[in-house]
Amino acid sequence: MDAETDLAPLLSAVAGGDRTALRAIYERQATRLFGVANAILRDRDAAADAMQDAFLRIAGRAGQFDPERGTPEAWLAAIVRYAALDLARSRGREIPTDDPALGDQPVPAEALDRVESSAEGRRLRQCLATLEERNRRGIVLAFVHGLSHAQIAARLELPLGTVKAWIRRGLLRLRECLA
């Protein structure tokens, strides 16, 4: 049983109030999810706060996970991403940096192999390959690396509106391809 299929039953158990299952999810996913929060907030203490909030949300919303709509890993990452963005908004600022690589975490090769080896992963990769480079790059920076539109615009040295438009067009094409 791989990590992805391992998580769905754990989320189901969390929905039933199983705290041990929540701890197991944390132990398996904390490093990756902390990387998502840290990439958005660029502050380790704030990322830790976002993780705490995210796991409270996970505990309360685990019953909302639907395997028909996506993988457990993507669902968990989305909750962490929203918790981090909520925290950034509540602070009213982003911490600027001149280092465009700050917050990026290398993804272990075995994690990419697991995604590529699944049928959904292969299909997503094929659809991503059909996108223009600029659309694909924006989507990957936003949804894999967890960067905000503003961070992507700064990294690519492009206007914010341009980045938003590229990502939106790319997502629309991706949705059509995956349908």
Per-domain residue ranges of the chain: 1-96, 109-179
The structure's pTM equals: 0.53
> Which residue shows structure tokens 């019953």?
63
Specify whether domain 109-179 bears CATH 1.10.10.10: yes
| Separation of alpha carbons 74 and 88, rounded Å | 21
Residue 175 has pLDDT above 70, yes or no: yes
Contacts of 109-113 with C-beta under 8 Å, sequence gap 24+, read: 111/32
Per-residue pLDDT tens for 56-69? 999 999 999 998 88
pLDDT at 30: 92
Per-residue pLDDT tens for 127-156? 888 989 888 888 888 877 777 888 888 888
pLDDT at 115: 53
Identify the CATH assignment for 1-96 out of 1.10.1740.10, 3.20.20.10, 3.90.1150.10, 1.10.1660.10.
1.10.1740.10
Provide φ and ψ at 133, rounded to 5°.
-55, -45
